[in-house]
Structure 1
Amino acid sequence: MNSDRKFLDQAPRFLFFTGKGGVGKTSIGCASAVQLADAGKQVLLVSTDPASNVGQVFGIDIGNKITAIPAVSGLAALEIDPQAAAQAYRDRIVGPVRGVLPDSIVKGIEEQLSGACTTEIAAFDEFTALLTDSVLTADYDHIVFDTAPTGHTIRLLQLPGAWSGFLEQGKGDASCLGPLAGLEKQRSQYKAAVDALADPQRSRLILVARAQQSTLREVARTHEELNAIGLSQQYLLINGILPESETAQDRLASAIYRREQNALIHMPAALSGLPTDRIELKPFNLVGLMALGQLLRRSEPLSMPDNDVTPATSAANLSSLVDEIATDGHGLVMLMGKGGVGKTTLAAALAVALARRGLPVHLTTSDPAANLTDTLNGALPDLTVSKIDPHAETERYRQHVLATKGAKLDAPGRALLEEDLRSPCTEEIAVFQAFSRIIREAGRKFVVMDTAPTGHTLLLLDATGAYHREVSRQMGDSQQHFTTPMMQLQDPRQTKVLIVTLAETTPVLEAAQLQNDLRRAGIEPWAWVINNSVAATTVHSPLLRQRAANELSEIAAVANHYASRYALVPLLQDEPTGVERLLALAGDHWGISKTPSPLVPTGHKGEG
C-alpha cells in the first residue's frame, strides 16, 4: 500500500516495532495493523510484550491464540505469553534428559534455564514459527510485531550449537549455555527466521522513539546493534511531538516544544540517514478504533475549552519519601522501571537530597545509557558518584574465567569457552559481580542505584538469585552465618526498591508486571514514583489540559491497586540537571498539598 507515512509505504510482509517502554510502539503497531487491514490486506498483529495491552486497546480478550478482531475486517491478533513460553521451552529441553543424565547434570541445566535469557529465547522460539511456518501464516499478507527481537536475543542464536557435550563434561562456566542447550533441532528453523529478519524484501524494523535526547541516544544504540548483525532495513518513527500551536500563552508547553526541537536538531548522527516519520502528541487515550484511526493522521489544532479541565491533584511529593528514607541513616535504595521514565534523574535527586542532609551517599548506575555526570553537573561534600562500566567489568570477568577455568581445558574446549564469553549474558554476570561489591557499602552509608532498563535488571536479579542458591548449597547444614546479595535485596530493613513509571497506560501496566516479578523473587517494592505528570502542574494548552485529565485514572490505579506509598513528580519547564534543580525536584517547591485528594487518595497496599 502507499501511505503518507514512510514506514508504511510499500510495506513488506513483516513489520517489527521496537523501542523503550512508554514511547507508544503498541499504539502505533495497532494503528498500523488497522490501516493495513482497512486497505484490504489480511493482517496478523502479534505482541511479545509481557505486559501486552493489545487486547485492552481493542476492547477484547486475546491471549495466546490467534483471535479475530470483530470490528476490523481482515485483522487478527495474538499475544505471546513469554512466561508460558519459557516454561514450555524448559519442559521440552529438560524432559528428554531427565532420568537419562545424572541428577546433578539435570539440576545444572534447570538452573541455567531459570533466567531471563531463557524467557527471551523462548519468546523468540514462539514467533520463529510465525516467520517460517507457511501453514500457520499462509493466509496473512502482513504480520505486525509489537516488540521486535533484540540484538541480544539474535546474538544468542548465532552462537555455536555444540554446547550439550560441553555442559555434560562440566567444562563450561556457563552464562548463556543453558538456554542454548538442546537447540540443535531448532537451529535450521532459527537460521531461517534470522534470515527472514535480515531480508529487506520481507522485513522492516521501525525504531520508535520520543523527541528526547536520552531516548534518541538509546534508539541510536539499538540501530547500530541491529545493523551490525545484518538487520539493516530500519525506519525511525519519532512519536508524541508537541505541536507548536500549543505553545501560545503556556510557559510549560513552550519549554517542552523548545526542548523537543533541540533534541531533534541534535539527533545522533547514526540516525540521520534513516527514513523518518514524526507523529504529533495526541490529547486522547489511544484505546478504541476511533483513537487508533486518528493516531497516524495529521493533527488539527484544538480549540480552547470553555472550562478549566486541568484537575487539582494532591499527592505526596518526592521530599516525603526522602524524609522516610533518611531516618534509616544508611541502606540500599534501588530505582527500577522501564527505560525512558526518568530513573537516572530521580536517583540523582534522591542522592543529592540525602547528601544535603549531611548523610554519606554513593550514587551509582548499572545503566550503560545513563550519564550521571551530566545530570548532576556539580558536587556535594557527602556524595560520591560511580558508574559500573559494563565493558570494563566484562573484560575483567572474561580474563578471570580464562585464567582459571580455561587453563584446565584443551584447545577445542577453550575455544568453546571463549565463544561463550563473547555472549551477551557474560556482561550480565560481570555487572552483577560489580553490583555485589557496591551494595556491601550500604551497611554504613546510603547507596542509591539507578538500574538499567527492566529486562536487564531482572536478568541481574536472576543472577543474584542463582548466586544465593549456590551459596546456600555450598553451606549445606553449616551453622556459619552468611548474607548473600539476594538476602539483602529481600530485607526491607536494608533495601528500598522504588518503581518509577509515567501516568500512562502502558508504563503503569509494565510497572505492575515488574512489581509482580519482584514479588516472585521475594522482593517487596517500597514505593512507586509517578514521574513527569502533567496533572501535578498547571497548564493552559488545550492538549496538555486534556492529557492531564487522562492521567487521573492511571494515578488512581497506582494509588488504589498497586502502591503501598507513592509520590507524584510534575513535568517541569526546565530539565532537572545540576544540584540546585535536583534539590528543587526533591523538595517542597511545587505548591502541591500533601493532604489526600478525593480524586487521588494517598494509596494503600494492593495485590498488583
Structure 2
Amino acid sequence: MEDAVVEMDAVKYLNKLNLDNIELTKYLFFTGKGGVGKTTISSFIALNLAENGKKVALVSTDPASNLQDVFQMELSNKLTKYQPIPNLSIANFDPIVAADDYKAQSIEPYEGILPEDVLAEMKEQLSGSCTVEVAAFNEFTNFLSDKTLEQEFDFIIFDTAPTGHTLRMLELPSAWTDYLNTTSNDASCLGQLSGLNENRVKYNSALEKLRNQDDTTMMLVARPTHSSIYEIQRAQQELQQLSISKFKVIINNYIEESHGLISSQMKSEQDKNINHFTEWLNNNHAYYVPYKKQKEEGIENLTNLLNDDNLIENDNLIENDDFIVEDHPQFNKLIDEIENSKVQYLFTMGKGGVGKTTVATQLATALSNKGYRVLLATTDPTKEINVETTSNLNTAYIDEEQALEKYKKEVLATVNDDTPQDDIDYIMEDLKSPCTEEIAFFKAFSDIMENQDDMDYVIVDTAPTGHTLLLLDSSENHHRELKKKSTQTTSNVETLLPKIQNKNLTQMIIVTLAEKTPYLESKRLVEDLNRANIGHNWWVVNQSLVTLNQSDDLFSNKKEDESFWINKIKNESFDNYFVIPYGGLS
C-alpha cells in the first residue's frame, strides 16, 4: 500500500502515517512538547501492533499522561494486561512522585548532621525539572535492562523520552559523586545522581541501547506550529550529538481539508509552518496524522485514528442563532483590571507554544495606546515582536544564549585551579541545565531594568523552553543562589528581587490553552508560584474557539472539550480569567 501524499507549495512529500510500511524497532521513545499527542500516537501504535499479534508493552512517564482515560482502566507503575487485547500490557509511572521519593532518600542521610538552611538549599536544588528527568530515566533503565521483558515483548514503547541534557549528564563521572563532594562547585542541579550510584552500570547499558539504531527509534512528535516543529528539530540535534541516530518525525493534527472559515485559516497557517521546515522534514521522511473530528480518547476512536471515516460536508459561516456561542470575559477587561491595580511588572507564563509572546505584545500595545509608558522585554529567539516602537512603547530583547555564555564565564571563573577535570566537565554540563538558563535570564533581565524607573509598566514574556522552575521557585532562592556565587551578586539583582516578590508590584499572568495538557502544566506552574509566594491573579485562555460567532464542523467536538477545560480554568483562577478568540476571528 502506497503512502498518501499531501502536496504543498514547498513541501514535496509529507506522508500519512501508515503502519503497514513504517519500519519500527523494538524500543520506541516519543518526544516533543507537552500536548502534541505523544500519548495518543504511541497508544495507537501499541494498540495496532497488539491487534496484529505482537506482544507490546506501553509505558508512560508523563506526569500529564491520560493513558487511564484512553484505555479506561486503572493503571500503576507495574505492567498490567489490557484484557480486551491481552497482547498489550500498560504501565503508568509518575516521575514527579518518584522524584519526591528520591529527594527524600538523598537528603535523609544528612538530617540532624547539616544545618537546616543547608538542608533547605539541598531540597531546593533537588526540586528542579532535572531531578524529575532522572527519575523518569531511572524507570526507562529498568525496562531497557530487564532481560525478561526483552524476551517477553516484541515492542516496548515509551510515550516520553529523556532529553539530551539528561543523557549527557548521565555520562559524566562527577555526576555520580557524593552530594557533599559536589556542592563546592556551585552547580545548580547538584547531587541528582548521587543516590543512584548502584544503577550506574545499568544506566551505561541503557545509553548504549539508545544508541543502537537496530534497537531504538526516537519518534519526534509535533503539531503543525512553528514552535512545536522547532522543538523537535532542536531535540534531534541534541540527541545526535550523543550518537543517537535513528529518528522518525510525525506531525500530528494536520488538517487535510478545510470545512469552514476556522479550519481554512488554520490549515493555511499549518502549511506555512510546515513549509518553513521543508528541507529538514524531507530529509527525515516525515509523516503526518490527520486532524480528526472525533475525540481521541477511548479505544474505538483510537483504532480509527488513521481511517478515512471522517467525511464532513463543508460548513460555511452559520449565523449565531444556529449554534451556541459562549460568553466569557474578554481580553480588554484584563487591561482594565491592570489599570485599576498598582502592578508595574507583568510576566506572561505558560508552557511553550501557548502564545506568551503574543499575549505580552497585546498587553504592551493596549497599555501604551492608553498613554502609559511601557517596556516590552522578550526572550523569543525568533524576535518576532510585531509592534512599532513609539514614544510610549519601547522593546528590549534578552538574548538567552548570550546571557547564558556570560553567566557560564562568571561561574567558571570561581572554579579553583586544582579542580579535577571530571568535576569541571560536570560543572560545564550542569551549566546547560534549565535551572541555569533561568538564573542567566534573571540576571540579564535585572541589568535591563537598571534604568527603567520611568516606565509605568514592564511586560516580559518568557523563553519557549518551558523551563521556568528556578525563576519561579522563589525570590529568596534566587537570592541564595546569587549570594553563594558572591562574585556574581549585583546591585541590579538585589534591587529587583524584592519587587518580584511584592504582589502589589508584580503579577505572573498564566497563559494557557483550553486543552488538558496546557491546563495541567499551568496548574503545576501555579503550585510553584504559590510555594514561592509570588502573585498570579490572572489567567489568559489563548486561541479559543468557543467564543467565535462561526461554525466549522471539523471543530464541533473541540468546542465541547474547550468548554470543559475553560470551566476548570474558571474555577482554578477564581473567575479571574480572560479569553482570546482564535486568530483574531470573532
Distance in 2, matches of 1:217 and 1:107, equals 37
Instruction: State the AA in 1 paired with 2:417.
Output: L
SS in 1 for 2:53: coil
Distance in 1, matches of 2:412 and 2:275, equals 46
Residues 361 and 387, structure 2, Cα contact 8 Å, conserved in 1: no
Residues 542 and 580, structure 2, Cα contact 8 Å, conserved in 1: yes
SS in 2 for 1:517: helix
Are 1:194 and 2:207 an aligned pair? yes
Residues 14 and 204, structure 1, Cα contact 8 Å, conserved in 2: yes
Are 1:258 and 2:258 an aligned pair? no
| Pairwise CA distance, 1:340 | 1.6
Partner of 1:295: 305
Partner of 1:510: 521
Residues 206 and 234, structure 1, Cα contact 8 Å, conserved in 2: yes
1:362-381 mapped onto 2 (5 Å cutoff) = 362-367=375-380, 370-372=381-383, 374-376=384-386, 378-381=388-391
Partner of 2:233: 220
Partner of 2:533: 522
| CA 106–354 in structure 1, closer or farther in 2 if over 3 Å, else same | closer
| Pairwise CA distance, 1:289 | 0.7
- 1:80-122 deviation per Cα after TM superposition (whole angstroms, max 9, x unaligned): 2222211222233334455678888766644432322222222
Partner of 1:552: 563
| Pairwise CA distance, 1:419 | 4.2
Partner of 1:384: 394
| CA 458–536 in structure 1, closer or farther in 2 if over 3 Å, else same | same
| Pairwise CA distance, 1:513 | 2.9
Distance in 2, matches of 1:508 and 1:186, equals 35
Distance in 1, matches of 2:81 and 2:322, equals 38
Moved more, 542-551 or 162-171: 162-171
Moved more, 540-549 or 82-91: 540-549
Distance in 1, matches of 2:496 and 2:71, equals 43
SS in 2 for 1:303: coil
Query: What TM-score, normalized to structure 2?
Result: 0.85
Identity of aligned residues (%): 36
Instruction: State the AA in 2 paired with 1:284.
Output: Q
Are 1:536 and 2:544 an aligned pair? no
Partner of 2:287: 277
Partner of 1:54: 67
Out of 408, 430, 433, the position equivalent to 1:398 is 408
Distance in 1, matches of 2:275 and 2:458, equals 36
Are 1:21 and 2:25 an aligned pair? no
Are 1:349 and 2:359 an aligned pair? no
Question: What 5-or-longer segments of structure 2 have no aligned partner?
Answer: 4-15, 486-492
Residues 69 and 75, structure 1, Cα contact 8 Å, conserved in 2: yes
Distance in 2, matches of 1:385 and 1:435, equals 13
Residues 175 and 429, structure 1, Cα contact 8 Å, conserved in 2: no
Are 1:323 and 2:336 an aligned pair? yes
Partner of 1:77: 90
| Pairwise CA distance, 1:562 | 4.7
Are 1:134 and 2:147 an aligned pair? yes
Distance in 2, matches of 1:132 and 1:557, equals 41
Residues 393 and 430, structure 1, Cα contact 8 Å, conserved in 2: yes
Partner of 2:17: 5
| CA 279–165 in structure 1, closer or farther in 2 if over 3 Å, else same | closer
Are 1:311 and 2:311 an aligned pair? no
Distance in 2, matches of 1:13 and 1:144, equals 8
Are 1:421 and 2:428 an aligned pair? yes
Question: What 5-or-longer segments of structure 1 have no aligned partner?
Answer: 475-481, 573-584, 592-608
| Pairwise CA distance, 1:543 | 1.0
- 1:484-518 deviation per Cα after TM superposition (whole angstroms, max 9, x unaligned): 86654443212222222222233223322332333
Distance in 2, matches of 1:561 and 1:401, equals 40
- 1:503-549 deviation per Cα after TM superposition (whole angstroms, max 9, x unaligned): 22332233223323332333353122111112221334321334323
SS in 2 for 1:178: coil
| CA 357–342 in structure 1, closer or farther in 2 if over 3 Å, else same | same
SS in 2 for 1:214: helix
Moved more, 276-285 or 498-507: 498-507
How many residue pairs match? The answer is: 559
| Pairwise CA distance, 1:272 | 2.8
| Pairwise CA distance, 1:37 | 1.5
| Pairwise CA distance, 1:432 | 3.2
Please give the root-mean-square deviation of Cα atoms over the aligned residues, in Å: 3.3
Residues 7 and 235, structure 1, Cα contact 8 Å, conserved in 2: no
Moved more, 137-146 or 229-238: 137-146
Residues 333 and 498, structure 1, Cα contact 8 Å, conserved in 2: yes
Distance in 2, matches of 1:442 and 1:35, equals 61
Instruction: State the AA in 1 paired with 2:579.
Output: L
Residues 171 and 413, structure 1, Cα contact 8 Å, conserved in 2: no
Moved more, 318-327 or 59-68: 59-68
| CA 71–494 in structure 1, closer or farther in 2 if over 3 Å, else same | farther
